[in-house]
A and B are shown apart, each in its own frame.
Chain A
Amino acid sequence: MASEHPLRSRWASLSLVAVWLFSTPGLAQVGTPDTARPADAPVQAPSVAGALPAGPQGSATEARPADGDPGPDAPAALEQGRAEEPSTAGLSLDARPASARQDLADDAPQRPDFKPWAVPVAVVPGLLFHGLAPLVAGDTHTAKRLFALEGTGLGLIALGGVPIVLTGASRRTIAPLYAVTLAGFSALGISALANLYAVTSPAFDPGVAPPMLPPLELELGYQHVNDTAFDYRHFVTVGAQARFESLRLLGTVRVDPAEGNTQVRLGGAWRLLGAPERSLVGTDGSALDVEAFGQFHRYPTEGFAMVSGEVGLRGRLAMSRISPALAGSFAEVSLGTSLETYTYAGAVSDGNLHDQLLYTFGYGVWLGRGGGPFRGEAMLYYDHRKDSFVGGLRSRGGGIVGAFGLRGRALLTESWGVAAEVQAGGALVGRLSLIYALGGER
């Protein structure tokens, strides 16, 4: 099974191991989803026919070609109860013949109906039992996977956390144990949010992954930081992102013109698995990148500067692979490390190199492209790093916990859009930017 999908074995090594192995829609176990739609309605992933975004009553309300834009033939396709076969342009995630895929699709679970009474269950007691809400809604297929994901998360937390306690967070074992523990929290957090999404998403048309992101994206914005430990507050932010085939280059500068605090961050990402961002058409948006960044951060009031370098892996998984009920959402996990050094003003000598575990996980949704007014994405996330503006939570456990955030990006016209981010850690950070997408985005 694993050899059919180049991404699968790598992803399985991360936190979504158990669920991933059964996550390809065409290979998924048949549950008992409550659906009124025909089984052969198309799904956003091009590899198999699956579910079409359902309206409040669970019926297909829109058909679209694989590039995400409703085409002129869509109404006709709707009348026939199915849309045209998605394009196989770009990286195909399933090499099986169309007939075989169709056979599988006949047995594949569908997006369930919206059951409003399941939504509060997703909160209480759903925050403790992550498959409970879809179970109450009659979607046993999703429920099983979310219970499995939660169990995986709890297992990883125990696997990493118990030895951390028993070893007293030993310097010799802390890095891998910490990574495993955080992976557990990732799975737990993702399953909790997926539990909520699974029962709310049937109420609306889910977004789909972008078929193509612009070759060049420019950003200009404002960032506000409220940190009682620092005088800086108001930042001007400038950013640029260039996308080539598998390579993506990024750069941001954040400056407080009054106080002088300046952060410059430059780096890039190389797509190891998945289609390049400029030609995502026909894919579900799942990908794995290796990233490298350099950062310079000057603190003039505090009298020091930090220079750091970091490398890491960042993966994104379309949650429709877990269950059709999760179509339109994705999970993202990154793992890396950084090395940093500080230079101090005055006659202060310090040649120390400080390492840091970098870890993020998030749960996001694609916005639009399936009928919404704009195109983009939003993600709720946790970030473990402590050298950012937001820093970690100043908790009664000291400074071990990172920060939480919500970020979104959406194009409102062909080329213009906005990006926004709020973060809560030791500080509160808010950022709002204007985006110009050169070449446009679909």
Chain B
Amino acid sequence: MRVRVKVWAMAALVVTGCGMRPAENRAVMDSKVGQAQQGGLTLAVADGLAAVRELAPGTLVLWGNAPAFSARVEVGADAPSDWMVTVRNAMPDAVLVVQEEGGAALTPEPLPQALPTVKVWRVALRAGATVRLSVAPPDAESREPFRFLAMADVQEALPSVGDIYERMRRDDSARFILFAGDLTESGTRAELLEFQERLEAGSRIPLYATLGNHETFSRDAAEYHALVGRGSQSFVFKGVRFTVLDSSNGTLDPWVEEQLDGWLESGRQGTHVVSMHVPPQDPVGMRGGGFANRGEAAGLVGKMARAGVDLTLYGHIHSFYSFTNAGIPAFIAGGGGALPETFDGVGRHYLAVDVGAEDGLHQAALVRVD
């Protein structure tokens, strides 16, 4: 009976949410990620690259959604001076730099943690000051090639996602995981919290994500925005620009597309990796698992190609595909464990991608988990 109710609820959720701008609400929510005011502190994370998980007098907890990010902090007159700053889902070697505006750099005290992606610092903040917090690994500004891992679509396979992290742990060179949506089956708070707990327990590297259509099943991804971060954002690591987009309705909201134009312009001269959940073009056209409008899809991939995007990474389709869209190398790596596409001979998998700021994509290798 519960299964039947769930199926009907899913069907209703899929049908609802249609409209001229079904992703507009999420684009608005994006703009509020990383903004908070509480406990005498006013916080604004630049470009929304981290979600504020907790802000109380003396305590700030962030969930990082990029390898490097900064935040502007206004310390109220009545704010306490002693603060514990926690960044979860941080790069294992991340350091915190605290710079008071017009003043000297402060010295945060790192506190040892058991989990590699959880970083905690004790910082003394002067009441009435405005400070800039920067969280990044020491080599974030260098331009050497590096490796990241790409995957998507864990969904109902969340209980066994640890197998994938276990396989990933064998590769010491990977810096982070880029996740193309559908972390969970329904996007509930409980599911997302479980996803994050399993990630922290099983993975030695952080995971930076965009949302998938399954995240929208719960309050149009409000929980995702609160716990993980933005659906559409762009960051730079070691000279390579990464842009993730919320395409979970088979479209881009015009507001997101406007932001994308800016990110494409910023990444025009360097290496640029773009990732989203629903691929603009399904390589199996009969299935039509791509965008709802093929004209919009062609317009998007054409725009990315003209802007010199080096690599596109997608999810949504639970298999592995290697193809091109408008000449850009494209991969679907939907092997996170969700109901797999049969007869494809792949099983659970992820991609190991080597890129460099100077020479773009080196290689993308399929890594099988099972």
CB atoms of B213 and A398 under 8 A apart:
yes
Cα separation A227 to B20 with both chains bound (whole Å)? 7
Cα separation A342 to B327 with both chains bound (whole Å)? 11
Instruction: Check if B104 is an interface residue, CB within 8 A of chain A.
Output: no
Tell me how far the C-beta of A428 lies from the nearest C-beta in chain B, rounded to whole angstroms. Answer: 7
Instruction: Check if B294 is an interface residue, CB within 8 A of chain A.
Output: yes
List chain B residues, Cβ under 8 A from A158.
Answer: none
Given known A302-B303, A395-B250, A398-B278, contact A342–B343 (CB-CB < 8 A): no
Most buried by A among B19, B248, B257, B299: B299
Instruction: Check if B28 is an interface residue, CB within 8 A of chain A.
Output: no
23 contacts between A and B (CB under 8 A): A167-B343, A171-B284, A229-B257, A230-B295, A299-B298, A302-B295, A345-B306, A348-B305, A355-B285, A356-B288, A386-B290, A391-B295, A392-B292, A394-B292, A395-B14, A395-B249, A396-B18, A396-B22, A399-B288, A399-B289, A399-B290, A399-B293, A428-B20
B291 in complex: contacting residue of A230, A337, A357, A399, CB < 8 Å: A399
Instruction: Check if A379 is an interface residue, CB within 8 A of chain B.
Output: no
Cα separation A342 to B340 with both chains bound (whole Å)? 30
Instruction: Check if A197 is an interface residue, CB within 8 A of chain B.
Output: no
A227 in complex: contacting residue of B22, B216, B293, CB < 8 Å: B293
Cα separation A397 to B22 with both chains bound (whole Å)? 12
List chain B residues, Cβ under 8 A from A361.
Answer: none
Cα separation A398 to B278 with both chains bound (whole Å)? 7
* Residues of B296-352 whose CB lies within 8 A of A: 296, 298-299, 301-303, 305-306, 316-319, 323-327, 339-344
Tell me how far the C-beta of B119 lies from the nearest C-beta in chain A, rounded to whole angstroms. Answer: 35
CB atoms of B305 and A387 under 8 A apart:
no
Instruction: Check if A72 is an interface residue, CB within 8 A of chain B.
Output: no
Cα separation A303 to B303 with both chains bound (whole Å)? 8
Instruction: Check if B361 is an interface residue, CB within 8 A of chain A.
Output: no
Instruction: Check if A228 is an interface residue, CB within 8 A of chain B.
Output: yes
Known A-B contacts: A230-B295, A344-B298, A354-B294. Give 6 more (CB < 8 A).
Answer: A165-B339, A169-B318, A170-B344, A228-B20, A350-B327, A427-B20
Instruction: Check if A193 is an interface residue, CB within 8 A of chain B.
Output: no
Counting contact residues on chain A (CB < 8 A from B), the size range is 35 or more
Nearest CB in chain B to that of A168: its residue: B341
List chain B residues, Cβ under 8 A from A170.
Answer: 341-344
List chain B residues, Cβ under 8 A from A393.
Answer: 18, 292
Total B residues in contact with A, Cβ cutoff 8 Å: 59
List chain A residues, Cβ under 8 A from B250.
Answer: 392, 394-395, 398-400, 426
List chain A residues, Cβ under 8 A from B216.
Answer: 396
Nearest CB in chain B to that of A232: its residue: B295
Tell me how far the C-beta of B151 lies from the nearest C-beta in chain A, rounded to whole angstroms. Answer: 16
The stretch from A79-87, A91-99, A172-180 touching chain B is A172-180
Instruction: Check if B262 is an interface residue, CB within 8 A of chain A.
Output: no
Given known A348-B302, A398-B278, contact A168–B292 (CB-CB < 8 A): no
Cα separation A426 to B254 with both chains bound (whole Å)? 13
Cα separation A401 to B292 with both chains bound (whole Å)? 8
**Per-residue contact bits, chain A 140-176, to B (CB 8 Å; 1 contact, 0 not):** 0000000000000000000000000111111111110
CB atoms of A344 and B343 under 8 A apart:
no
Cα separation A354 to B295 with both chains bound (whole Å)? 12
List chain A residues, Cβ under 8 A from B21.
Answer: 228
CB atoms of A426 and B293 under 8 A apart:
yes
Cα separation A112 to B334 with both chains bound (whole Å)? 55
When A and B form their complex, which 3 residue pairs have the shortest distance between CB atoms, in order from nearest? A399-B250, A391-B293, A399-B292
Instruction: Check if B188 is an interface residue, CB within 8 A of chain A.
Output: no
